[in-house]
């Protein structure tokens, strides 16, 4: 099992880093489940940036595909007029990558990450 070091010096599963910020995970999930996608755009850039920063704290390149896809989504929505097909493709890919990450997450985070993956799929289906 891959691991990473926390600031306390204890090792933790690399997948749990995705949920290292429970409030951020819950806020992202809530936004996707309760807000229509176009209304997410004003805060999306900051939210994506936070996720990229969080994932970059993991040693190695385990989350490189997820970081790349977050960057692709950021680029697709960055200019005020989102590229719908590109955003849809990114959301679908992120859903798959989030499902994979849930498999290695801690028990507390696993369900939330699975819910996040489902919310990403639903968001993609609206485009």
Question: Which tens digit of pLDDT belongs to each residue from 16-48?
Answer: 555 455 676 777 777 776 766 666 666 777 888
User: Does residue 38 lie in a domain region?
Assistant: yes
Nearest Cα residue to 119 out of 90, 81, 83, 92? 92
User: Does residue 6 lie in a domain region?
Assistant: no
> Does residue 65 register a pLDDT over 90?
yes
Q: Which domain range does residue 70 map to?
A: 14-126
pTM: 0.76
User: Does residue 67 lie in a domain region?
Assistant: yes
User: Does residue 96 lie in a domain region?
Assistant: yes
What is the reported pLDDT for 48? 85
Average confidence (pLDDT) over 97-119: 88
Nearest Cα residue to 38 out of 119, 125, 127? 127
Report residue 63's pLDDT band, with 50, 70 and 90 as the boundaries.
confident
Domain count of the chain? 1
What is the spatial distance between Cα 85 and Cα 26, in angstroms, rounded to a whole number? Answer: 26
């Amino acid at each position: 099992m891959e691991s990473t070091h926390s600031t306390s010096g204890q090792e933790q599963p690399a997948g749990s880093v995705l949920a290292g910020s429970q409030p951020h995970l819950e806020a992202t999930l809530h936004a996707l489940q309760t807000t229509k996608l176009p209304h997410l755009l004003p805060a999306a850039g900051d939210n994506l940036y936070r996720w990229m920063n969080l994932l970059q704290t993991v040693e190695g390149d385990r989350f490189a595909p997820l970081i790349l896809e977050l960057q692709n989504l950021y680029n697709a929505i960055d200019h005020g007029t989102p590229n719908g097909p590109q955003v849809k493709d990114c959301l679908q890919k992120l859903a798959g990558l989030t499902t994979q990450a849930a498999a290695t997450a801690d028990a507390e985070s696993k369900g939330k990450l699975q819910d996040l993956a489902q919310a990403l799929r639903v968001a993609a289906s609206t485009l």
